A and B are shown apart, each in its own frame.
Chain A
Amino acid sequence: MTDPESLEGWVPEIGTRVSLEEVIDRAFDYRGNVTVVRADGSELEGYVFNRNRDVRVPFIQVFDRAGDGPYDILYSDIRAIRFTGKDTAAGGSYAAWLRAKQASKQRPGTTPAPGA
């Protein structure tokens, strides 16, 4: 049940096949941490929880890996985004539950463990 479309591990090359705006939209939609590379080469790893492209100076907002923030980063200051963190929406826990349930059906008298 793991999502084959997950962007986990994706390192897009901005400007060739995909635009900065598209990558930011994907990062905003991604339920895992990403690494944002700024124009000066510095990096910030964290969760992109917001992006606003409908304002005069578009920006993203990030909570870093420690949960600190939010940090605002302008679109114009982003050189790259790498999808470095685990995709938490990839369905792993649900797949585990289904597997455990299936196994319990094959072994009468057992039930899936809590949180399976």
Chain B
Amino acid sequence: MDGHPPFSRRDLIGAGLGIGAGLLLPDGAMAVARPRVGGRIRVASLSSSTADTLDPAKGALSTDYIRHYMFYSGLTVLDRGLVARPALAERMASTDQIAWHVRLRRGVTFHDGADLTAADVVWSLLRHKNVAVGSKMAQIAEQFAQVKATGRHDLTIRLTGPNADLPTILAQSHFLILKAGTRDFRTANGTGPYLCAQFRPGVRTLARRNPNYWKPGKPYLEEIELIGIPDEVSRVNALLSGDVHLVIAVNPRSTKRVVASRGHALLETQSGLYTNLIMQQRQLPTGNPHFVAAMQYLLDRPLIKRALYRGYATIANDQPIPPFHPYYRADLPQRSLDLDKAKWHLQRAGLTGVRLPVYASPAADGSVDMASILQEYGSRVGLKLAVNRVPGDGYWSTHWMKHPLGFGNTNPRPTADLLFSLFYKSDAAWNESGWKNPRFDRLLLEARGEADQARRKQLYGEMQGLVRDHCGVGIPVFISLIDGYDRRLKGLYPVSLGGLMGYQFAEHVWWEG
């Protein structure tokens, strides 16, 4: 990470550098092979329904993110180390992390031929604040105090408070840039690597190579057909039978079949995705710190990694920052299964012999099995857990965070700040365990405005310790994302934000067949 200059602060990084395609390629990708133009592939993602959308603000699922990255571009883009790089923004700089000056790349055109101007960017960013748009980023967009064009290719973003992560936040698919005034989302008019040839919600998306893409030489594929195959067995079968060339979300149980096939391979992406045990802190007995400690000692992390995920997981330590993250704090002692300590804490909490319901659901990946494992170990220390398995449909609105003991599931977020602000800040809407820690909240605000990387790492490190020791969550493992691909497809590499190279494979991969 340290080799990369961060894309922030007063330095005008990336000015003019983006012209050479080399910088935009991730490290090492150039050395592997020389990409060639041409080829058609079919890609199967997880789901496809009438909720499919071409509106980046409404993107909800992997299929949407992939589609949006094909047709639109953002101001910034994250490289594989999760560092923000220039994209449509040629420069992005700030002295105080409040007022950000953005200079747009010149000569970028939308698919309809119109030039990209500051007005488009201003409109695209401000629409997230309009409730009628129904943006997934409405909360984050609240910190845009003012977004104003200062020239044809220049604009200023003024935030409500300092935030050094702005370039990273703007790299998310929801903040991709639209043409000002876009209302009709039956087709896409973006500045992205592919043109929208056909969009049928719930059926397919057909993308054709954009010959006028602003990155010279890219993209490589002539055509991408994106479909959704919700059924995992069908998805893997479609890959193995050659009907599709790239699939997202291979179940660990199916990995053997893909590995056994000569023409196919797996792409494992270590990610920050986790399923966590939630112990409500505002009520007893789950709010008792001894109870929390007992539960955390009952988690057999290696077993969960091995049995539930066939090894496609990373052991976690009851805090949400994964080991490969730039801000990960390595010196926290690893918690592991310890029945004696669990028993002692349970006795201190006075809960030996108590019967407690725990809510699990297929909606929170692996939670039903985790609950069974907890039940088994719990019975050995005198804790009777009753596993209530509830349906996945409607789980998030009816069950999640509504029971003293339950499970949640959190997707990777691009920054530590987003993750902590959304799920761990005392007044966060999804502060799952309902813990309150004023010191944590203060550190969070301080880290957000801090531009010095070493200092930030230190602040985020302390916050990880606070979550591990005081918050009411148990995070056993980080779940790896597994994609399957046809070996003739080249140029794939993992990006920890999501499957299929953080949903951005489309402009990077090429076909040798």
Are A and B a genuine interacting pair, yes or no? no
B-side interface residues toward A, CB under 8 Å? none
* Chain A residues in the interface with B (C-beta under 8 A): none
